[in-house]
């Protein structure tokens, strides 16, 4: 077993060394940021300013500690270099153990328990929700929260709002609605729970959270109690709201949830029961459609295509990604995916459609790889310039191999096309901590082939002119 481990370690290092040598060729820009503590989630926040060569943007991360210092939610400022600005030789000269000059910590929030997942509210990305190992969802107004010093014994920051309703821990499944300030969560109690932040009326005054409320909202209970010092104890003195709906249909832990991009009433969930369930809050709390055996193992993640709302992606412990069309989900009660994508050799942890191109999506897994796929490339003859990856599975056109351990989360940047932030938990490979990478593949890879060849021809004639 130990020998096997050594072999895997060697192959990971070999793959990484090969990847690093190709960075100047494959990437337009890359920033590598070493994390002392792993972050299980990474999300882009609002863009703050635009300059000639780079834009500044918020980035939400976390620190999952060993208890010697508190767990934190980190708000960072990131300098995102614009396309075709960074010199090829610069982006490949980074030290794996160093922090990136492009990522600066802006604010620390002491989080009650480790942060398993972070999601920003699309209507107001200064508002974020977090999941920890508890039944409640925490809502934070990150601009209004005080900056804290994370030292042992420091009291927890106080969430601006608690969302209650789960009967057991809800650790990972968390989503925000694109069209309304709704929050969706799933947990070990096998339920999917829906809240509206509109239901929160309080004395938050000019806070951003209060600004998301509407006159037609329901009630709020304000919970008071003694201040708590323990890192996992329930926050007190935070107002809380109960759910709009609790949806039952799973037979095991719900691992991920997602809203339909075009409707606040429709959403989906996946779980350890191998099921994908579609829900419609207008027709009660039972499943609208239940897809049994969507995969051959636990489902870890799901995403819904914002450009084509018929397409839903799922990722599983069976190492595969499947794409379903909601007009034709099952046959004989069993899931009938439109396509199966097999390009990972370990459990898939995260799938996400690109905000820029309707046919493109990314997937990350425990094998340390983040794959980029394009539906349009399936079935096309992949010879000549088209085959960027020899022997690649259909649809796979880019493989980000910059992480050396499981890639636990990634997020496409809506403000900056084709720019991705990804994070790996390096506890098993490099002796702890994590790696954050912000990267953008070179545009010659994804632009139309004719366009690229025309540009290269122009470049060739330019070089010949210079030479003569």
Q: Among residues 108, 95, 86, which one has the least CA distance to residue 39?
A: 108
Q: Among residues 251, 191, 182, which one has the least CA distance to residue 217?
A: 182
Backbone angles phi, psi at 327, to 5 degrees: -80, -15
Instruction: Count Cα neighbours of 187 within 13 Å in the Cβ-side half-sphere.
Output: 21
Instruction: Count Cα neighbours of 324 within 13 Å in the Cβ-side half-sphere.
Output: 29
In sequence order, the 6+-apart residues with CB closer than 8 A to the CB of 107 are: 74, 75, 142, 145, 147
Tens digit of pLDDT for each residue in 371-380?
A: 999 999 998 7
Where in 27-132 does DSSP place strands (E)?
A: 27-35, 43-50, 54-63, 72-81, 103-110, 117-121, 124-131
In sequence order, the 6+-apart residues with CB closer than 8 A to the CB of 420 are: 362, 370, 400, 410, 411, 412, 413, 438, 439, 440
For residue 2, CA distances in Å to 7, 265, 368, 431 come to 9, 51, 20, 17
Look at residue 429 in the predicted model and tell me its pLDDT.
67
Instruction: Count Cα neighbours of 22 within 13 Å in the Cβ-side half-sphere.
Output: 14
Look at residue 268 in the predicted model and tell me its pLDDT.
98
- pTM recorded for the entire structure: 0.90
Q: How far apart are CA 153 and CA 157, in angstroms?
A: 12
Look at residue 204 in the predicted model and tell me its pLDDT.
44
Q: Among residues 245, 352, 340, 337, which one has the least CA distance to residue 288?
A: 245
Q: Mean pLDDT of residues grouped by 10 in the chain (468 residues)? A: 48 91 96 96 97 97 95 98 93 92 97 97 94 97 96 95 97 97 98 94 49 43 36 70 97 98 97 98 95 96 97 98 95 90 97 97 97 92 52 92 96 96 86 92 93 91 82
């Amino acid at each position: 077993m130990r020998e096997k481990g050594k072999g895997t370690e060697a192959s990971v290092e070999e793959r990484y060394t090969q990847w690093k040598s190709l960075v100047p060729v494959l990437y337009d820009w890359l920033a590598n940021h070493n994390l002392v503590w792993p972050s299980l989630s990474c999300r882009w926040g609002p863009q703050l300013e635009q300059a000639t060569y780079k834009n500044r943007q918020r980035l939400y991360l976390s620190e999952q500690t060993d208890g010697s210092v508190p767990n934190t939610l980190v708000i960072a400022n990131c300098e995102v270099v614009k396309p075709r600005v960074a010199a090829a030789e610069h982006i490949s000269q980074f030290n794996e153990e160093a922090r990136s000059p492009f990522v600066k910590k802006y604010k620390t929030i002491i989080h009650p328990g480790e942060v398993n997942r972070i999601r920003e509210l699309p209507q107001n990305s200064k508002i974020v929700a977090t999941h920890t190992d508890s039944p409640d969802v925490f809502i934070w107004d990150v601009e209004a929260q005080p900056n804290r010093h994370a030292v042992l014994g420091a009291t927890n920051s106080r969430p601006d709002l608690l969302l209650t309703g789960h009967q057991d821990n809800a650790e990972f499944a968390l989503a925000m609605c694109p069209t309304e300030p709704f929050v969706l969560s799933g947990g070990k109690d096998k339920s999917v729970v829906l809240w509206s932040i509109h239901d929160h009326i309080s004395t938050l005054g000019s806070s951003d959270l209060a600004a998301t409320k509407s006159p037609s909202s329901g009630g709020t209970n304000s919970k008071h109690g003694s201040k708590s010092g323990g890192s996992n104890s329930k926050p007190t003195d935070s107002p809380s709201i109960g759910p709009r709906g609790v949806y039952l249909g799973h037979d095991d832990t719900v691992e991920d949830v997602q809203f339909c991009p075009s409707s606040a009433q429709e959403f989906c969930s996946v779980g350890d029961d191998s099921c994908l369930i579609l829900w419609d809050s207008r027709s009660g709390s039972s499943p609208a459609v239940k897809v049994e055996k969507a995969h051959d193992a636990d489902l870890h993640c799901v995403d819904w295509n914002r450009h084509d709302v018929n397409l839903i992606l799922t990722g599983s412990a069976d190492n595969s990604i499947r794409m379903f069309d909601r007009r034709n989900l099952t046959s004989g009660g069993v899931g009938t995916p439109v396509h199966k994508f097999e390009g990972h050799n370990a459990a898939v942890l995260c799938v996400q459609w690109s905000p820029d191109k309707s046919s493109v999506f990314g997937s990350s897994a425990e094998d340390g790889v983040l794959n980029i796929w394009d539906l349009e490339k399936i079935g096309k003859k992949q010879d000549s310039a088209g085959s960027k990856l020899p022997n690649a599975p259909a649809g796979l056109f880019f493989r980000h191999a910059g992480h050396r351990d499981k890639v636990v989360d990634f997020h496409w940047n809506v403000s900056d096309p084709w720019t991705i932030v990804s994070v790996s938990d390096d506890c098993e490979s490099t002796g702890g901590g994590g790696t954050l990478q912000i990267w953008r593949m070179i545009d010659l890879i994804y632009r139309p082939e004719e366009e690229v060849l025309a540009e290269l021809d122009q470049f060739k004639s330019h070089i010949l002119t210079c030479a003569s």
